[in-house]
Structure 1
Amino acid sequence: MSTEENSCVPRQKILVAKFDMKVVKYTKRPKAKGWIIVRDKRADPDKRFKFRFLPEEHDAIRLIYPTISIEKRQSAFLRGYPLIKFSTPISTCGTGTGRPKILYRLTHDGQPHGGMKPRGHGIVTVEPFSFHILLFKHLDWRCRNLSPFLSATDSMDKILHMYGLYDERGYQNIRLLIFETDGPGWDHQMQRLYRVLDLLAALGGRSPEYVSSMAREFILEGEIPPESIIEERLLESNNPRRPVKNPIPPKAKSTSKGKFATAYTSCV
């Protein structure tokens, strides 16, 4: 990791692994050097994803990520997300590199920690091999996995659009948080702010239409410092509220079977 010291908020450059974000059978990509395997939903949220790599790639992994622990035992799997590249550079928002001074975030009663911390705060760990899948899941409204990220925007138009969706779905006590992205309470090594368009440009895997919809979207790895809150508004509506039950339809599950891959070892 490196930083640009001449900015008020240093821009951090980080290496993460890049995967194809479409689940495929091992037999479709037998030459892939690594995979993300999705474990049973009953698994510990921080162990929801397992990583498998060919033994001959272990030295290359250790060279790029010296702190990564690699298991020597092999384990079988049927399908997953195939690896595209071991290391892809991404960057946080630094002063002068697209970091807004103020961001907006909507919260409601269904969010833990008053919407100030991610659902996966203190539970889900962000690592070089997990960043891409965690980002992919976070940006999918249908996914209810615990996320280590918070979403925010610098667009009031987007806030109004989101408010309409929240209100329609019956969320209670919808609040608008207006917060600064620097100042007291911020630890920029721990609370990393990313522009979603920058991440999508680096990691890919999304349609042009989807990328366009993410304009002026930001994600924060970590919590919003209470000291940075400028204003908090309770937004009320005259529309009748209704309880929300499964407001977003779940994804269809695949039940097809195929040949298992057995030559890969785990990376944790």
Structure 2
Amino acid sequence: MTATTAQPSLLLREDDTGVATLTLNRPAARNALSLALLGALETTLAALAANRAVKVVVITGAGPGFCAGHDLRELTEARNDPDRGRAFFETTMARCAAVMQAVATLPKPTIAAVNGIATAAGCQLVASCDIAIADAHARFCTPGVNIGLFCATPAVALSRAVPRRDALEMLYTGELVDAAHAHRIGLVNRVVGDGQALPEARALAARIAERPASVVQGGKAAFLRQEGRALDAAYADASRAMVAQLLAEASEEGIGAFLDKRAPVWPQD
């Protein structure tokens, strides 16, 4: 196992056998997404996208919380700027949008290990990941309406992860929902015992990492392309993706091994 750190005070990174774990590391602030932390995430995700040794990315939080959203103290301080914070607000929202898109479109699968409260942009981060596993005590909300700020950007990810009516109820009320409710509406894949979200996420990531990276990554790209398309266009694109994979070495070996009743020997990615 190797361990590296990208900005020690903000974001920790640990690599182990194809799985990179990123830990938001502002526990005293419930891992709020300061502009600096967003920058660290953006830089690290770009590096992970280009790193062929990393096959799956797990995101979690240090301390008792996953992520409390934007750093409200930092945003409030910006109101003292001559423009009342407009430039800072625009920069923060643009960088946050870039980070959430980087998570959602990362070539490798992403898994959120939700170890505690995930609110506002923290809930957005959970919804942006491909898969989410939550501790039983985890809580989720989009509480902007309670402080005069509708969670419009978290709504983008949330509305793509859960049914419309469930998303709107969370957005309109700003109320906390428990992990069981988050599971029922599809915000998380499963709920595990307290303290088990990260081990469970890493175990799942390790199983995914055993699959051929070219197949998993090509499959994620195809999945993202077909989302939101008309049915005929989605099938046309998916069919092209299947043909391309059938012509690739991995499927030739995988199908051959299945027919021969043996374990596949995957080509090196």
- Which TM-score bucket, shorter chain as reference? under 0.3
Greater relative contact order structure (CA < 8 Å, 6+ sep): 1
Task: Pick the structure with more strand per residue.
Answer: 1
Q: Normalising by structure 2, report the TM-score.
A: 0.22
Task: Pick the structure with more helix per residue.
Answer: 2
